[in-house]
Chains A and B, each alone.
Chain A
Amino acid sequence: MPLLEVRNLKVYYDLPQGTVKAVDGVSFSLEKGEILGVAGESGSGKSTLAHSIIGLVKPPGRVVDGEIIFEGRNLLELSEEELREIRGREITMVFQDPNTYLNPVLRIGIQVGEVYEAHLGIEPRKAIDKVVDLLRKVRLTDPERRVESYPHELSGGMKQRVMISMAIALKPKLIILDEPTSALDVTIQAEIMELLIEMRDELGAAMIFISHDLELLGQVSDRLMIMYGGRLVEIGETEEIFRDPLHPYTEALINAIKYVRKTELPTLEGEPPSLLKPPPGCRFHPRCPKRMERCSQVEPGEYLVGSRRVSCLLYEEESDA
């Protein structure tokens, strides 16, 4: 049994202008200890996907359909209290911008200690020793003093270490990382990545690693999922995808990395699709170099090619499924 299985998940935002289908029928599974990279442009639905797994989609967003099975239980059917016990203990999350995701008026020691408060019933002030140990583990310098600090007294990288410490405190089975290094300086990014990899090795937790940086995902993930316009485009072994991308969108992304290295930048023509009024047929067809007549008329299904799943009409015939 996989650790996590997401089936046909649909998360929509009801806006005055209409319904935004941020995640529109996404399915995937995750084994224990596995790292799944999720890539896509901004607005592809990857962040909404992450928030929905931990049950924290902000209104007006709502999960309209699907199942999120974690260790055999459908999270979407749990009560708020049952979900609360899983959050922060079994499933944790590290967010993109540590500057806004830490409370500006509470001391670091309290904010980290709250994890122990929520799940072990230890008052934050009495958990200070544990917090200091934890902060040392994420290699925050001078942890004894830092527990007394407020977020604004720490640098971005230090704050992200604090966020990571909260996520690993109770040795969770799944850590969701939503662009954990995107808001940081390049030099700090490398340090934080190093820490994350170290934590993965130590904890053996499964991770969903969300990023728009495909190259980074190529280095850390076992499997890779590419999203476009709220849909899954391709999912499979990271290595295989890099060697031989099936979907034209995946191919364009991987080419972009290769060409960046040569400093000539072939950009993908066009813009990401509007999720309010997605294009008919395949959502990628207006930008697709390999589009066919049918692409604008028929919505592609998901086809199995070897161990990979791809959503493109090019593979309709080849499909094993």
Chain B
Amino acid sequence: MEAPSKMSLARYVARRVLQAVPTLLILIVFMFILVRILPGDPARLIAGLEATEEDVERIREALGLNKPLHEQFIDYMSGLLRGDLGTSIKYDRPVLEEILARFPKTLELAIAAELIAIALAIPLGVVSALKPYTKTGLLATIVSLIGSSMPIYWLGLMLIYIFSVQLRLLPSSGTGTLAHLILPAVTLATLLMGNLVRITRASVLEALESNYIVTARSKGLREEVVVYRHALRNALIPIITITGLQLGALLGGAILTETVFAWPGLGQLLLTAINSRDYPLIQGIIIFYAVILIVINLVIDIAYAYIDPRVRVSLWSSG
């Protein structure tokens, strides 16, 4: 089976995008209802404690909250179809504009963190699978323990304390230069590495247990070839899944990390939106996040197909 032609790939992507439509629709309906059954009247919250009844009514009207629910939904959906996610109450700007202004920062942080994590965690996981009782094996265990059990805000604060307050090497917050990126990226990467080391180690170990490894060895292949050509390639599938899902989660904004380091990304925006009951903004961010997850999943599936020819068959030839 050859690599997929451009045509079949395009058809596959188109099909997957179409399949995502109902998913997205269900999500929007669910979110729409959820936001509206939450206790509290958004108009009253926005107007503030000292507002008059007329003020509240005026805000309610401006938000369209005085209309029946189904009309509100139709209004919202027709806006969505035109690419209009509504207007942020707090910032008084289109929601989409606000999101797109913040997204590059989130993207920057997410990719930096993921790259650091991949570069360190995968070699560490492989070595610890091959030589579990060496120092590297021990290091892998420690890293995965730290990554999966240390509260990220605490780690972030500690790093700030050491590198910004004590050593004065790196800025503690804000953005702009590479130096600003280092601490938040390292903090996030530590969290990611915990999982990634464990998954890499487990999937390499599992691959090494497979029968085709016995065949490879029986041919008289060198152990490096057995490990890197035969085992690692099979082990990549779960590793890619985890990496993709991690990246998806990060692109929605790393709320804690962004808060600790005052990083102006989507996570901070969501936090602000929730604190100020900015419903259009909350909805917009959630929809944006859902779209990102759908895209990431699609990318993961395509990556599978490039690694595993069996997946390729089921992806490209069916439908």
Interface residues of A (CB under 8 A from B): 51, 54, 56, 58, 80, 84-89, 92-93, 95, 97, 100-106, 111, 114-115, 117-119, 148-150, 152-153, 163, 166
**Could you pull out 8 A-B pairs where Cβ atoms are within 8 angstroms?**
A58-B214, A95-B218, A97-B211, A101-B214, A101-B215, A104-B310, A105-B234, A106-B233
Q: How far is the CB of B66 from chain A (nearest CB, A)?
A: 60
Contacts of A85 in B (CB 8 A): 220
Chain B, 235-273, contact with A by CB distance < 8 Å: what is the 0/1 string? 000000000000000000000000000000000000000
Decide if B313 touches A102 in the complex (CB within 8 Å). Answer: no
Contacts of B310 in A (CB 8 A): 104, 150, 152
Interface residues of B (CB under 8 A from A): 1-2, 209-212, 214-223, 225, 229-230, 233-234, 307-310, 313
> Looking across the interface, which residue of chain B has its beta carbon closest to that of A124?
B229
Contacts of B219 in A (CB 8 A): 87-88, 92, 114-115, 118, 166
Decide if B220 touches A56 in the complex (CB within 8 Å). Answer: no
A85-B225 Cα distance, complex, nearest whole Å: 15
Select which of A56, A89, A103 is within 8 A of B212 by beta carbon.
A103
Decide if A95 touches B1 in the complex (CB within 8 Å). Answer: no
Q: A84-B221, A114-B216, A152-B309 are in contact. List 8 more A-B contacts (CB 8 A).
A: A58-B209, A85-B220, A95-B218, A101-B212, A102-B212, A114-B221, A118-B219, A163-B215
Q: Given A104-B234, A105-B234, do A153 and B218 touch, yes or no (CB 8 Å)?
A: no
Contacts of A56 in B (CB 8 A): 214, 217-218
Q: How far is the CB of A204 from chain B (nearest CB, A)?
A: 21
Q: Given A150-B1, A150-B310, A153-B1, do A105 and B218 touch, yes or no (CB 8 Å)?
A: no
Decide if B307 touches A95 in the complex (CB within 8 Å). Answer: no
Most buried by B among A93, A101, A103, A117: A103
> Looking across the interface, which residue of chain A has its beta carbon closest to that of B233?
A105
Decide if B214 touches A84 in the complex (CB within 8 Å). Answer: no
Q: How far is the CB of A248 from chain B (nearest CB, A)?
A: 35
> Looking across the interface, which residue of chain A has its beta carbon closest to that of B307?
A105
3 smallest CB-CB distances across A and B, nearest first, come from A88-B220, A88-B219, A87-B220
Decide if B220 touches A100 in the complex (CB within 8 Å). Answer: no
Contacts of A97 in B (CB 8 A): 211
A103-B219 Cα distance, complex, nearest whole Å: 13
Contacts of A92 in B (CB 8 A): 218-219
Select which of B209, B211, B307 is within 8 A of A101 by beta carbon.
B211
Select which of A51, A95, A101, A118 is within 8 A of B220 by beta carbon.
A118
A85-B219 Cα distance, complex, nearest whole Å: 9
A149-B313 Cα distance, complex, nearest whole Å: 12
A117-B219 Cα distance, complex, nearest whole Å: 10
Select which of A80, A101, A106 is within 8 A of B229 by beta carbon.
A106
A56-B217 Cα distance, complex, nearest whole Å: 8
Q: How far is the CB of A285 from chain B (nearest CB, A)?
A: 35
Decide if B214 touches A95 in the complex (CB within 8 Å). Answer: yes
Contacts of B217 in A (CB 8 A): 56, 87
Decide if B218 touches A87 in the complex (CB within 8 Å). Answer: yes
Select which of B2, B222, B223, B309 is within 8 A of A105 by beta carbon.
B309
A287-B60 Cα distance, complex, nearest whole Å: 88
Q: Given A150-B309, A150-B310, A152-B310, do A103 and B216 touch, yes or no (CB 8 Å)?
A: yes
Decide if A103 touches B234 in the complex (CB within 8 Å). Answer: yes
Decide if B212 touches A104 in the complex (CB within 8 Å). Answer: yes
Decide if A86 touches B215 in the complex (CB within 8 Å). Answer: no
Q: How far is the CB of B79 from chain A (nearest CB, A)?
A: 46
Contacts of A103 in B (CB 8 A): 212, 215-216, 230, 233-234
Q: How far is the CB of B262 from chain A (nearest CB, A)?
A: 45
